[in-house]
Amino acid sequence: MVRTGWQRVGSVLAGAGMVLGLLSAPAQAEVEVDRGELQRALDELVASGTAGAQIRVHDARGDWVGTAGVRDLEHGGRVPANGSFRAGSITKTFVSTVVLQLVGEGRLMLDDPIAEHLPQFGLDPRITVRMLLQHTSGLFSYTGESFPDGHTEPGIPTGGPEFVAHRYRQYSPPELIEFALSKPPRFAPGGGWSYSNTNYQLLGMLIEKLTGTPWSFQVEHRILLPLGLRDTVLPGSATEVPDPHAQGYLAYPEAGELKTVDITSHNPSWGGAAGEIISTTADLDRFLGALFAGALLPSGLLAEMRAPHPDSGYGLGLESFDAGAECGGRYQGHSGGVAGYQSLLFSSADGSTHFSASMTTGALDPRDPGAIDRNIAARDKVVEIVACGTDLPDQRISTP
């Protein structure tokens, strides 16, 4: 998955079958300000194939929460304004924060070879902790890979009928790592950039090795409890999303027909330290604000975390996109995509604008590239309006 930031969000979901309902609900606002253009963009997002959406925005005009679409394709209902959702790869920012805290405590160094800490996998000794955090290890992603020439190499099933049939299967981190290591690496360690979920499964195991406790315990006690993130859950193998929540769906062709399955309930152990977290827009917004304010990391390590890779814009567990100088410049945070749910969490460099969002995937046909492109463009428009205060049709936000 050689994609970055906002570009990666739509492309990964479409390519993996986790792609994105046509009723909209009025916004629920915390502050009475005119957000009509943003609300219309949310409604257009739903009209393009997303089942439901919720977004939390802070900018110079104050705080605002908006929703669109339905919580359930069968029964309708308003999308909860602060409902729980599967936040996918936003997990990586939490895991990266814990790893960097351990670096700050002197328990390891960023340029330590990971093989010294996890010798059981026979990893290339050139792969460092920093490379795992920044996706420059070259390791194959166990969820599959897309290559520049257009061909793909499948990983474990994360979409389509095979995922539905085995949605409650239990995976272990060593199992996923060993599967990835059975595939050729993308490139020599440090020789490129390629997004790989395998990197963060290894980091989860590294946290456990250094602390003697699961990575999830460390995230809970170092981040969730101190920040009061009471609605954030690290489910492990628990299959349900806490109420209130919108339902997520998986659409795929079967016998020539489009089948749409409610995939809200499934075992997220395949995601683990790379993507299992469940949260709310309020909790995620509080986490990113505390992180960038220096409440979780010393300034030097926070600077290391935020330093973007020259080819991808990816820091150490942070994605980015460039909105242009007049719209806040570089935004950093992370996106997430798992079956049924897409999520966003980003802040401008100065913290003056930040937003978190969840979108539940609906009955969008993965065989229709035009429909997928329209849905991605509708999501881009929402982000542009948040960043710039208005849609910029001739200046699409893109990653460097």
8 A C-beta contact, residue 268 and residue 237 = yes
Determine the Cα–Cα distance for residues 78 and 84; give it in Å rounded to an integer: 14
9 φ/ψ angles, rounded to the nearest 5 degrees: -55, -60
Structure tokens at 261: 């399955």
8 A C-beta contact, residue 133 and residue 312 = no
8 A C-beta contact, residue 271 and residue 237 = no
Burial level of 313, CB count in 10 A (0-12/13-18/19+)? buried
82 φ/ψ angles, rounded to the nearest 5 degrees: -140, 50
8 A C-beta contact, residue 141 and residue 1 = yes
Structure tokens at 272: 């683990």
Query: Mind telling me the catalytic residues?
Result: 89
8 A C-beta contact, residue 35 and residue 79 = no
